[in-house]
Amino acid sequence: MPSSRLCVTVPVILTSPPAALPAKQRIRQAFDRAATTYDAAADVQREVCDQLAFYLDRSGLALDPAAIVDAGCGTGYGVFWLRRRWPGARLTLIDFAPGMLAAARTHDAEAALICADIEALPLADGGFDLYWSSLAWQWNDPGWCLAEAGRVLKSGGVLAAATLGTDNFPELRHAFAEIDEYSHVLTIAPPERLLADCRAGGWEMRIWRRQPVRRHYPDLRTLLRAVKAVGAREVEQRRPTPLSRGAWQAIAARYERLRETAGLPLTYDAVWLIATKTG
């Protein structure tokens, strides 16, 4: 199981008064609401998923999995590659947002769909040859996700995961700085802790990559809409009142100072991990 957690913060976009629900339930509701807008806005998520497939394909592993679990499947984009690569595999898709699972069903009529928390998978021990997860661990405790991956994988099974590091959205951190004393960020564990947990757990590391993925937007409104459309919204609501018009003007002005030729930048800190279970 994961060691004691050293956490840092990465930003999410908060625009509304706080909700009474615990953070994980707010995350679930946010992604449930985003299910219909996700695919149209998720170009970064698709790029990260495609890169995970690229790394797995070039990991040097001779893979022919009979059973695959996609943990945090979202709308099922990863299913396209998994099905094309291993058409005969038994595929299980897991997400804790019902709306996301409903969208995933339209991409694969044969896969088993389970609405569950990936920190506590309702799966038997050692039942899978490949554990796949793209951009889901950062919304959870990565250490618990890693432990569950190890539990459900067979000996020699393969873990392929993409998550986020701690330097996400530095431009937004800059724009929100000095606006108020409230938190505008989501607390997650740093990837260095995940790497340490892998080594301590006896995983054989095949690939570990960390690099930024950037996008540009014409203005702040479009940028914020793109972030919200993929579910990264209102999951850590701590501010008791919405920001004023003046505060938003100050935020926009600070962001404008970062403008590049292509537009306003937004940077994701992407992390890819390919490892095999030993023992």
Q: Are 77 and 39 in contact (CB under 8 A)?
A: yes
Question: Is the confidence at residue 25, as pLDDT, over 80?
Answer: no
- β-strands 204-217, 264-276: how paired? antiparallel
Question: Is the confidence at residue 173, as pLDDT, over 70?
Answer: yes
Which pLDDT band holds residue 34 (cuts at 50, 70, 90)? low
Measuring CA to CA, which residue among 95, 131, 134, 129 is closest to residue 115?
95
Q: Which H or E element spans position 214?
A: strand 204-217
Question: Between 259 and 107, where is the model more confident?
Answer: 259
Which pLDDT band holds residue 45 (cuts at 50, 70, 90)? confident
Measuring CA to CA, which residue among 76, 72, 79, 89 is closest to residue 53?
79
What does the pLDDT average to over 235-246?
A: 63
pLDDT at 20: 41
Which pLDDT band holds residue 13 (cuts at 50, 70, 90)? very low
pLDDT mean across residues, the chain? 82
Enumerate the H helices of the chain as residue ranges: 23-34, 38-41, 43-57, 77-85, 98-105, 142-152, 170-176, 191-200, 220-229, 245-256
Token digits for 219? Answer: 């203005």
pLDDT at 127: 96
pTM summary value: 0.83
Q: Are 74 and 95 in contact (CB under 8 A)?
A: yes
Token digits for 66? Answer: 């009979």
Which pLDDT band holds residue 272 (cuts at 50, 70, 90)? very high
Return the number of other C-beta atoms located less than 10 Å from residue 60's C-beta: 8
Q: Domains of the chain: which residue ranges?
A: 8-276
- The conformation of residue 260, written as its DSSP 8-state character, comes to B
Distance CA 25, CA 143 (A): 20
Distance CA 219, CA 95 (A): 32
pLDDT (tens digit, 9 = 90+) per residue, 56-108? 999 989 899 999 999 999 888 899 899 999 999 999 999 988 888 888 888 88
Distance CA 76, CA 55 (A): 19
CATH code at 8-276: 3.40.50.150
Measuring CA to CA, which residue among 78, 77, 74 is closest to residue 96?
74
pLDDT at 29: 65
Question: Between 151 and 187, where is the model more confident?
Answer: 151
